[in-house]
Amino acid sequence: MFNVSAFRFKLLPSYVQGAIAGVLVFVSKNVIYISHNWPFVFAPAFGLVTGLVLIVAMVLGTQSDRALWESNGGSYFLDRREEATGNKSVFRFWVAFGSCIRVLTVALLLSGMADYILMNFIDGSLVEQTRNLKLEQIKNAYTLLGMDNETIDYAVKEIKSLNLASFSNVMVEVANKLFSNGLMGLIVAAFLRRKPQAHWVDS
């Protein structure tokens, strides 16, 4: 059973780095909208820049989390009992991956909120623009992959039936991006974790 008294929350550096990355993406989407270049949000260049921002945020967040973890004797929380007994845990792969996921979750939620606010409260015409851009992406991708017309038509029908401005759809988009970017998080975690004996660079 969940023990409320044992639950502890700490504003870890990974949360902060995720918020910074999310704000950057949030602001950039608003700037792109104001400049009347909404299609650029779906351009490969914007995806590349956003991806680089997320990678930098994951690296900085995980490094800072690791420094905090190690300065507290193998914990995010300064636990004198662990320190006294010498029971120190290493900043292993899954701990490092947790830092990456925290960065991505915060950043992508803020990015998703930019879409939700713009489509629901700023400019309703962005819904149709977004739908057309997604349809174009789907058609190009499926044609490149050699999909048959029946498969393409089904995907187009699915996109047309979606309420792109709904909160649930925005959250689904966030979840999809979290999964795809999480693959990069696995790589970042592999580089920034520590082995039980030594850091990977040392060995």
Chain segment 97-148, per-residue pLDDT in tens: 999 999 999 999 999 999 999 999 999 899 999 988 888 888 777 777 777 7
Measuring CA to CA, how many Å separate 131 from each of 114, 142, 167, 191, 203? 16, 16, 16, 38, 50
What average pLDDT does the chain have? 85
Dihedrals phi, psi of 167, to nearest 5 degrees: -65, -40
Q: How far apart are CA 100 and CA 87, in angstroms?
A: 25
Would you list the domain boundaries of the chain?
13-122+166-192, 125-164
CA distances from 65 to 48, 72, 90, 182 (A): 25, 11, 12, 18
How does residue 86 score in pLDDT terms, banded at 50, 70 and 90? low
Sign of torsion over alpha carbons 188, 75, 110, 20: negative
Better-scored residue on pLDDT, 200 or 102: 102
User: Residue 85 — very low, low, confident or very high, per pLDDT cuts 50/70/90?
Assistant: very low
**Each residue's pLDDT tens digit, 10-37:** 889 999 999 999 999 999 999 999 999 9
Residues 6 or more apart in contact with residue 159 via CB below 8 angstroms: 131, 134, 135, 138
Contact present, 97 and 185 (Cβ < 8 Å): yes
Q: Which of 90-94, 103-107, 148-152, 183-187 bottoms out in mean pLDDT, i.e. has the lowest? A: 148-152
Please choose, from the candidates 163, 168, 156, the residue with its C-alpha nearest in 3D space to the C-alpha of residue 112: 168
**Confidence class of residue 72 from pLDDT cuts 50, 70 and 90?**
confident
Distance CA 118, CA 105 (A): 20
Q: Rounded to an integer, what distance in angstroms lies between the CA atom of residue 92 and that of residue 103?
A: 17
pLDDT attached to residue 87: 52
- Report the number of secondary-structure helices (H) and strands (E) in the chain: 7, 0
